Each structure stands twice: as C-alpha cells, then as structure tokens.
Amino acid sequence: MTDFDSFRQAYKLCQIGEWSTALKVYEKILKKDPTDAYLWYTIGDLHEILENYKVAAMCFDKAKSLGYGIDVDHVFHKKCNF
C-alpha cells in the first residue's frame, strides 16, 4: 500500500467516525516521515476528537514547530490539566 492509499484509507475511516483506526493509519504514515507537519496536526486533531487533550496539544506543538501555521489555544481550554 502506498502512502497515498494509506491517506485515502485514513480519510475514509474519518468520514465514518472510525477515529481510532484512522489514527493508527496516520501514525504508520508518520513513522515514514516524522517531519510532516500536516500529519502531526491531523494526528493531534484525532487525539482531540478522542479527548486525549494532552497528546493532542503535544502533536499540535510539534506541527507548529515544523512550520504548520495553526492556533492550538483551543486545546488548552478543554479538559487539559497541565
């Protein structure tokens, strides 16, 4: 399976609400390219949906450090106890 196929699979899983399974697919893709800011953001987004707010915030921070222009303050206002 190519990365494109994996992206498509993960996207389809998200469309049907299979967040955890989609997360696993995106994490496999990320292992091949850990400098992909968009993947870090997407994984953070899925962690936020799954209410893993601390992990989501860490992923958003990583995405931002890699140049992805996002505002992650919304995560800190949720059930995040830092």
pTM of the model: 0.83
Enclosing domain of residue 32: 3-76
Please indicate, yes or no, if residue 39 is contained in any of the structural domains.
yes
Distances (CA, A) of 46 to 1, 12, 68: 22, 14, 16
Residues 38-75: tens digit of each pLDDT: 999 999 999 999 999 999 999 998 998 998 876 656 55
Domain count of the fold of the chain: 1
Q: Which one has a higher pLDDT value, 75 or 36?
A: 36
Greatest Cα pair distance, the chain, in angstroms, is 39
Q: Half-sphere exposure (CA, 13 Å, Cβ side) for 36?
A: 16
- The CATH number of whichever domain residue 69 belongs to comes to 1.25.40.10
Residue-wise burial string across 50-72, b where 16 or more C-beta atoms lie within 10 A, e elsewhere: eeebebbbbbbebbbeeebeeeb
